[in-house]
Structure 1
Amino acid sequence: MVNRITIWCGSFCVSATTAVLWPELPSLNLVMTLAIGGGVLLFLSKCNFYFYSISGGKQTSWMKFVLIAVSGALIGATWMASLGYWHLSWQLPQSKIQQDVTINATVDRGGCLSGQKSVVNNQENRVHTQNAENIDSAVNAEYEKDEPRYMSYVVNVNAIDDIALKFTRKMALSHRLTSTCLHNGDKFTATVKLKPAYGTLNPVGFNRQQYLASQEIVATGYIKHLHIEAVVHNHSVRHNISVFITTLPLDQMRWFQALLIGERSLLTKDDWHTIGQTGTAHIFSISGMHLSIIALTVFYACSAFIFVASSIIKRKNAFINLRRYVLMTLVCSTALYVMLSGMALPVVRAFVLLVVGIGFAVFNSVLRPFHMGVFMLFTCIVLFPLSLLQASFYLSIGAVISIWLLNWRFRFQAMPWYKALFCIQLGVSVVMAPITLLWFGTASTIGIIANLFVLPVITLVLPVALLAVMAGYYIPTSLDFAIWVLLKIDKVLGWLLTCLSDAASWPISAIHFYPTTGSILCLLFAMLLAILPRWRYKWACVSLLILPVTLTFIHSSPTRWFVNVFDAGQGTAIALTKGEHAIIVDTGPMYNAEAPLASQVIPAFLKQNNSEHVDMVIHSHGDTDHAGGKAALSAWLDTKGIKPAWISPIDGCERGKVINWQGLTLTFLWPEKGNLEDSNAMSCVIKIDDGFHSVLIPGDIERASEYAILHAEKKRMAAGIKGRTNGTQENKSNVEQTAVRADVLIAPHHGSKTSSTDIWIQRVSPDVVLYTQGYENRWKFPSQSVFSRYQKYGVRQFTTSEFGFIRLEFTEGGYIVRSERKDAQNRWYLPSYTPRHLVSSESEVKKEENF
């Protein structure tokens, strides 16, 4: 029976996990077929079992196990497809998008815990930490770029415009800081503006849309007006304890908040860098490890009580009753800790697994670790299916599996404890490195040593600090003693964090590598084979599986060149790459004094493509949506010792300038020589040509600049013709056609209706036009009139808001256009949205805002 259940649960888990890679959900008819098929196969396997039992066979047929496995796989696929349809079933109605709506909601997380108006850190600044799964802040928004101080909440919405929802929906809302600060559990009424849960999508960096889906968040927005009179404050014990901690004279107060109650919004950017570089982020984020520390503390405390009680009470039955009471105490104490931690998913998941394990122990069910592990994994997927989209799921499962495999292979229990501890830490760190690289692009090289020192200290400190805080909070007479204890712990934490900060500053503290999913899966399978006992051709297979990772270090063919258009929201960032060399054209926007695209995404992308030799950085003009990342990119280039040429409309960009770069020709078409104006009209216009194909990048020029460029080109080419020929009409028309002709055009001014005139489109005559614009941007770029104009001339059109990152690959034989949403990351939980105004009625088009 146990083997059959394990096979069914294991097949269920494998099938359900594949849902992460589905490009789309199966049709409803197919889902029904899978469900019925799974049930029928399970029934047939049961009939097969009884048939062999009646016939007296000692062994059942292999067919029974096949039926059970296929049944589990079908039911697993059905489960995930059903959950996928349930998640996508509620979409924000078109009439509610970007409109003022009134909601009744309850703050789920992200509220003020410490009683202070703290700024919620941008999630994308934490992309390189190893604990992004616990991030409670929502996302930065376009509308906040002028006001950086805001709070971000995840709320449970019960009603919209007085219409009660059948099911509560989660939404992420931002709110400018006012005198009223919402706390977790507070009920409120507010006027908000909403849009579907969405985000930029690039090959590297934080995937906001996937994060929102994993948190069951179906819409994002901001609070325009909070109805203060309708706020019902419901301050929890967690909030009160947080406020109590802030009153204590602790130098490391923010770390106590993170360790004891899971409040991490007070951690600074430098704090996240320190724990990320040293591989200790999981220690300072409440997770299953912390729950196990509390559980072990309670268990050993109760074991002492059992020992004393068993020596007094000699009866065996009494001892068994005491054992059950201890397990009940263990469950209750860990449940209280889960509530104190803010019900973070990793802690809740660990608590559920703890309850499952205790349940087996209470009912005296003896299972092998493998069977227990498969059943626990099955429980996690059934209860928390969307956690499959989070890094925490794979980090937690990977750590448990690696410990189990290593212990099975090397028998750590037979070693001295110190040797076993070191071997486990070493093995887990090595096995987990590929997973952390896949999710975060970073793996700590000193994490093995750091964890050997930090983990024992935190294991001893956590229960003592938690008891001291609880005693000081609930027993006022013990406050002085509790403060004395916490001050001692504060000194220990200060010393520990100083050591970690020093270690994080070492150049070798971490490696940054951005492999493909396929190569990492091959590497993990190679590690699995390496752990297994020796067999023939073992190391040959391991070598072949390592090969895909090693190939990622090889530079791309020098005959191909790429134009990489990043999904920068309402901004522009482009990387021209060929071999190991690159040119950056615009560095994207800056929000809230941060430029995550320039500081994280562009460097990571260049490293992933082995193109870190940046020869030039060209800014079309100085607006923050194009040059907002200048300082961030400059800082990164300085750390790499790279000194590129910096070009802008007032420094180096002038009409007639030609640069030969890696076999390509860069021709500068605008502005005129001697220009001193840095504006949209004087944007740096560049044409990139390889002799076969070309790309035109015109910045934010508008119709006047388009006419000026075409006129200047006509005059120049006419003068050239007059000097060489008689100036026939045929020669003139050919020159006019090829002067600014390009196969690919980056739409001027993001597709504004003040640009892309008919004559411009005719002269450029592009096959493809790309719009760099943000989803639901307030200027409604690209303009529908411009979109229709390109459509009239048969130009293929791509918007970064719908297609995400776009890559153009050029060879002598042609060029290929690939997008992140439609090709590389085509997933059911990452749907793309066409700008609404492009499919709206003509009456709505006339209401476009002027820009």
Structure 2
Amino acid sequence: MRAVLLAWAAGIWLLQQSADLPAGRAAWAVAGVAVLAACAVLASALAFRSGAFRGRWAAWRWLPCVLLSACLGFGWAAWRGHARLADALAPAWEQRDITVTGVVASLPVHGPGGSRFHFDVTAVAPSRAGVPKRLQLSWSRPTPALVRAGERWRFVVRLKRPHGFANWHGFDAEYWLLTQGIRATGQVRGKAMPLPERLQGDPGGWRYALAVWRDKLRTSMKAAMPADARYGGVLLALALGDRAEIAPADWQTFQRTGVTHLLAISGLHVTLVAGLAALAGAGCWRRSCGTRGAWPLRVPTPRVAALVGCAAALGYGALSGFGIPARRAVCMVAIFALAFGANRSVGVSYVLAWALAIIVAIDPWAVDTAGLWLSFGAVAVLVYAARGRRDGEGESLEVISGWRYRLRRHLGSAARAQFAVTLGMIPLSLAWFGQVSLVGPLANAVAIPVMALLVTPLSLGGLMLPSPLADVLLRLAHALVAWLAVWLEWLSAWPHAVWRAAIPPAWATGLALTGVAWCLAPRSAFPWERLRWLGAGLFVPALTASSPRVPAGEFRVTMIDIGQGNAVLVETAGHQLLYDAGPPLGEHSDAGERVIVPFLRAHGVTRLDRLVVSHAHADHYGGARAVIAAYPGVATATSLPPDHAVRQAAATHRTCLDGQRWRWDGVDFAFLHPETATLASPDVGPNGRSCVLRISNGRHAALLAGDIERPQEAALIAKRAGRRSLAADILLAPHHGSLTSSTPGFIRAVAPRYVVFQAGFHNRFAHPRPAVVSRYQGIGSRTFISAADGAVRFETRGETLNAVAYRSAARRYWMIR
């Protein structure tokens, strides 16, 4: 049965790896295989009844069932995918004013610049506008009205289809929006007519009632906490699953120490609440025996305790917003309660398999999320490590009694469980995040009991109880978190607190998982105890993974997708250079922190040799300080003014000037612009001072042109007339494809085979301009636009130049065409 349930989940997972949803012949092929498998199931059942299967052949009767289950899972996920993609925003209505009426369907996130929330649409004007049922809206203005969950509003909005940065090993925002059922995002037009209007009336429905309840609890909890409560966001996360108010610096500390799993309502918290509720329910039920009804004599106390625990788990999961770990725990508690009520004994592995099958049936997109893999992986490791272990194993023959024995046994069990989870999570942590917290065992040894046994119950008490008792409980919970944070910050400050590596390939992750199974194998399965540690050797490929190295004399150029701005990674055999660092992304983040540094680490870039910031516009230097903080020793070359913050943050700095050259691993680098006179001229703006970098190995060349405009292009052509020092196979289009650049003379002088326009999706400048794109296409250049193609990578191999775009190489069915 477990194999059948896992096959169902595997079929759903396989569909999520598809570039296109099956239709036509593909759908009929899947249906045909399912029919054949069903026939095989029937035939095998009849043959088994007749005695045809015996002995070693008996297990084979499950193979048709496994095949049928996988086909049904694939078909179910495809049907759900078609239904969700059909609820789409018509491209013709992007970036146009539309009036929508509906309900705020989530806990709004409020910040200094406005609010962000999910919005369920009930009416649209004009009625012919194709608007999805659920939107994600942002309302940005200096003093936005406080939008509350469950309220009905009428807005004028401008929408666009789901779109995010598309980079290798990067966060897939489009998939995340798909999992949330959000098929369009947009902005509330605060100054448009009619003005935003809050409507009267109750929207009805249990989902909105639950959202209203959670919003009211959050408001009352925030009111009960001190105004200067730094870790109030942690208490909100533990009580309501709302992590939006955890400070970025604190979040980084929690990540480095490996305790982020405790900052949401996880399976541990749900199970704890269910257990406490079951104990309380059993105690109350037993004490009702003396009443007139004598209820314990009619319904056994254990069944009542199981029912109360199940109800508590369900309520707490609903309170948290039903994240994947909470769903898993609720399903497992419910299955155990049902089995107990039916007087059935059920193994944990069966319960885990059923919980997985139920969750991915309800939400097929959860199968490809880190939360599901880490949550189910941790429980699976615990179940596997506990196989064959008996209570008292390893104890001496003398009888040990009393509290010392119980304490020793419990501490030993907790240590073994922590060791198993730590070891078992290494492959999954590397596969999803490219890092492992080396101080995680020490951090969790203190954080788990403090957060689970003390802070969480106190937070829930502060959430449910009236003031002033709630105030006292929340202050005590906050004091415990503040004390714990001191311990975590001390651990996080260790120089080697985190082991980082590139995201390993699938085969290396598979080897590491095999190593986990080897190291944690029960003695009955692996009798040579000392040889179990040989399994640790299988971790080495995953722990030391890095992106494929560039041969000497060759180079690789990756145009990173960071929206409206520039960011280019240039790699040789032993050196790495980053050209520009993208734009700011909101008030508290930037492309360096959110995109570029994770991209570099995911590809195993442990040392950055040079950072070039082309000029003083925010879409080029916005993430530079985050890059410098991540790689403190990086040498920096810019055309920025002396008092610029990026220059002040750099360890070493030089001004890029025409004529500067260097050679790395057989590859030549040269700045072609600006000149000293250009930097000194008050008539030249930041664009005209852009650092223009050319990379060449004698066979191929790349030209990174920054934001130079017509005068600078003309100067470059005039200075290099009769020479091919401007010619390049790869060109980063000047000024993102603006009409102020890419003159016909410049295009002829460079004569690129490939041109990349790094521009944001539906950016306000309308870059790249169609006329500019046509100019390049007119000379036979192949054009890439990051908004449509994602990151673009070029790699030289002798006389060959390979080009690949992320959205083509890693195509998935939910990506917009």
Which interval holds the TM-score relative to the shorter structure? Answer: 0.7 to 0.9
Q: Is the 8 A contact 1:294 1:463 kept in 2?
A: no
The match for 2:186 is 221
Q: Distance in 2 between matches of 1:466 and 1:607?
A: 36
Letter in 1 for 2:762: E
Answer whether contact 1:616 1:645 (CA < 8 A) is retained. yes
Cα offset for 1:294? 0.6
CA distance in 2, matches of 1:629, 1:166: 37
Query: Which of 176, 183, 201 matches 2:148?
Result: 183
Q: How does 1:623-772 map to 2 (within 5 A)?
A: 623-638=617-632, 642-648=633-639, 652-676=655-679, 677-714=684-721, 735-736=722-723, 738-772=724-758
Pick aligned residue for 2:412 from 414, 419, 425: 419
Question: In 2, Cα distance between the equivalents of 1:672 and 1:56?
Answer: 87
Inter-partner Cα distance in structure 2 for 1:555 and 1:40: 47
1:134 maps to which residue?
none
* Counterpart pick for 2:19 among 23, 27, 45: 23
The 3 A distance-change label for structure 1 pair 814 and 562 is same
Give the drift of 1:36: 4.6
For 2:24 and 2:333, the matched residues in 1 are separated by 36
Distance 1:508 1:309, change over 3 A: farther
2:516·2:535 contact (CA, 8 Å) conserved in 1? no
Query: Could you say which residue in structure 1 is the equivalent of 2:206?
Result: none
Which of the numbers 525, 537, 541 marks the counterpart of 2:514?
A: 525
Is contact 1:578–1:611 with CA below 8 Å preserved after alignment?
no
Is 263-272 or 360-369 further displaced after alignment?
A: 360-369
State the SS of the aligned residue for 1:761: helix
> Equivalent of 1:446, from 416, 422, 439?
439
Secondary structure at the residue paired with 2:238?
helix
In angstroms, what is the RMSD of aligned CA positions?
3.1
The TM-score normalised by the length of structure 2 is 0.86
Given the superposition, is the C-alpha separation of residues 380 and 685 from structure 1 closer, same or farther in structure 2, using an over 3 Å criterion? same
2:138 maps to which residue?
174
- The letter for the 2-side match of 1:376 is A
- Structure-1 residue corresponding to 2:119: 155
Q: Is residue 534 of structure 2 the alignment partner of residue 534 of structure 1?
A: no
| TM superposition shift of 1:648 | 1.9
Corresponding residue for 1:127? none
Asked if structure 2 preserves the Cα contact closer than 8 Å seen for 1:648 and 1:684, the reply is yes
How many residue pairs end up in the alignment?
Answer: 765
Shift of 1:498: 2.3
2:771 matches 1:785: yes
Shift of 1:292: 0.9
Q: For residues 232 and 96 of structure 1, do their structure 2 counterparts lie closer, same or farther at Cα, with a shift above 3 Å needed?
A: farther
Greater Cα shift, 401-410 or 550-559: 550-559
**Cα distance in structure 1, aligned partners of 2:510 and 2:104:** 39
Cα deviation per residue 1:553-603 (whole Å; 9 max; x = unaligned)? 885433431112111100001121113312221111113244543235433
Q: How far apart in 2 are the matches of 1:189 and 1:162?
A: 13
Q: Deviations over 1:402-437 (max 9, x none)?
A: 011011154467471210111101110121122122
Q: Which residue of 1 aligns with 2:481?
A: 493
Say whether residues 1:578 and 2:567 are aligned partners: no
Assess if the C-alpha contact under 8 Å between 1:409 and 1:531 holds in 2: no
1:849 aligns to what? none
C-alpha change, 1:23 and 1:524, in structure 2 (3 Å) is: farther
CA distance in 2, matches of 1:328, 1:169: 36
**1:390 maps to amino acid:** T
Residues in 1 aligned to 2:129 and 2:720: alpha-carbon distance in whole angstroms: 61
Which of 597, 605, 608 aligns to 1:603? It is 597
Task: Indicate whether 1:368 and 2:350 are aligned.
Answer: no
CA contact (8 A) 1:103 1:162 kept: no
Is residue 45 from structure 1 mapped to residue 41 from structure 2 by the alignment?
yes
User: Deviation digits for residues 310-360 of structure 1, max 9, x if unmatched?
Assistant: 799999982644433333322333333233323444324432332233222
Q: Aligned with 2:183: secondary structure?
A: strand
TM-fit CA distance, 1:9: 2.0
- 1:94 deviates by 1.8
Deviation at 1:773, TM superposition (A): 0.8
Alpha-carbon deviation of 1:170?
2.4
Report the 3-state secondary structure (helix = DSSP H, G, I; strand = E; otherwise coil) of the residue aligned with 1:183.
coil
Note if contact 2:503-2:603 (Cα within 8 Å) is conserved in structure 1: no
Distance, in Å, in 2 between the alignment partners of 1:687 and 1:333 is: 64
What is the one-letter code of the residue matched to 1:469?
Answer: G
Deviation at 1:388, TM superposition (A): 1.5
Shift in Å, 1:401: 0.7
Describe the superposition over 1:745-797 as per-residue Cα deviations: whole angstroms up to 9, x where unpaired: 11111111222222221121111111111111122221111111211111111
Which piece of structure 1 moves more, 559-568 or 416-425? 559-568
Note the C-alpha offset of 1:64.
2.9
**Which whole-Å deviations, capped at 9, do the CAs of 1:228-271 have from their partners, x for residues lacking one?**
24366888333233222233254443332222222322211122
Contact 1:579–1:611 (CA<8 Å) still a contact in 2?
no
State how far apart, in whole Å, the 1-side matches of 2:351 and 2:706 are. 60
Q: Could you tell me how far 1:77 is from its partner in structure 2?
A: 1.4
C-alpha contact 1:159 1:165 (8 A) present in aligned 2: no
Per the alignment, do residues 504 and 740 of structure 1 end up closer, same or farther by CA in structure 2, a change over 3 Å counting?
A: same
In structure 2, relative to structure 1, the CA distance for the partners of 1:643 and 1:167 (3 Å cut) is: closer
| C-alpha distance 618-286 of structure 1, shift in aligned 2 (>3 A) | same
Per-residue CA deviations over 1:656-710 (Å, capped at 9, x if unaligned) read: 3333333222232223332224521332222211111111111112223222221
- 1:341 aligned onto 2:320: yes
Q: Write the mapping of 1:6-21 to structure 2, written as runs, cut at 5 A.
A: 6-21=2-17
Q: CA deviation at 1:86?
A: 1.9
Residue 651 of structure 2 aligns with which residue? none
Three-state SS of the structure 1 residue aligned to 2:465 is helix
Tell me, in whole angstroms, the C-alpha distance in 1 between the residues paired with 2:104 and 2:605: 45
Per the alignment, do residues 785 and 554 of structure 1 end up closer, same or farther by CA in structure 2, a change over 3 Å counting?
Answer: closer
Structure 2 counterpart SS, 1:105: strand
| CA shift in 2, pair 1:463/1:195, >3 Å | closer
Distance 2:295 2:115 in 1: 57
Paired residues of 2:502 and 2:547 also in contact (CA < 8 A)? no
- Contact kept? 1:581, 1:611, Cα under 8 Å: no
**Pair 1:290 & 2:269 matched:** yes
Q: What is aligned with 1:135?
A: none
**Counterpart residue number, 1:236:** 212
Q: Which moved more, 1:292-301 or 1:586-595?
A: 586-595
Aligned partners of 2:378, 2:98: CA distance in 1, in Å?
45
Whether 2:557 is the aligned partner of 1:557: answer no
**Segment drifting more, 11-20 vs 686-695:** 11-20
> Which runs of 5 or more structure 2 residues have no equivalent in the other structure?
203-208, 395-408, 642-653
Given the two structures, how large is their TM-score scaled by the length of structure 1?
0.83
1: CA distance, partners of 2:702 / 2:550: 20
How far the C-alpha of 1:154 sits from its partner, in A, is 1.9
